[in-house]
Amino acid sequence: MGNLNKVVLVGNLTKNPDVKSTTNTTVTKFGLAVNRKYKSAEGLKEETCFIDIVAFAKLAEIAGEYLAKGAPVLIEGRLSYNTWEQEGIKKSKHDVANQIIPSKVF
């Protein structure tokens, strides 16, 4: 059996999409806030997870045109791990890349 790398998230954009065109393709990046409510001994609590989203090509163009800060959206994609070095310090993060579905669809 092969490996599976699939993520489905529903949340709200934390900022307007940042659209950049390169010589090869269009890339759009934005943040997504996913909220979770749960009960604890202290009562009802809420937790927010912030996730970076990346879209490419035609999907990146569509996201840049139709999405805006605060918009509810469903994201389906794959988890991607990136590493880089900044001022001699190694850094890393995960982000999600692929299909974006505006909330009006679901």
Q: How far apart are CA 40 and CA 105, in angstroms?
A: 33
At position 99, the amino acid (one-letter code) is Q
List the one residue out of 83, 105, 100 whose CA is nearest residue 29. Answer: 100
Query: Does the residue 41 lie in any domain?
Result: yes
Query: Does the residue 28 lie in any domain?
Result: yes
Question: Is-contact 83 40, C-beta < 8 A?
Answer: no
The predicted structure's pLDDT at residue 106: 43
Query: Does the residue 1 lie in any domain?
Result: no
Q: Which domain holds residue 28?
A: 7-105
Query: Does the residue 13 lie in any domain?
Result: yes
Question: Is-contact 87 28, C-beta < 8 A?
Answer: no
Q: How many domains does the chain have?
A: 1
Q: Which residue has the tokens 């679901």?
A: 106
Query: Does the residue 2 lie in any domain?
Result: no
Query: Does the residue 53 lie in any domain?
Result: yes
pLDDT digit string, tens, across residues 39-87: 999 999 999 999 999 998 888 998 999 999 999 999 888 888 889 999 9
CATH number at 49 reads 2.40.50.140
Instruction: Measure Cα distances from 7 to 23, 39, 42, 79 in Å.
Output: 29, 25, 31, 7
pLDDT digit string, tens, across residues 8-27: 999 999 999 999 998 888 99
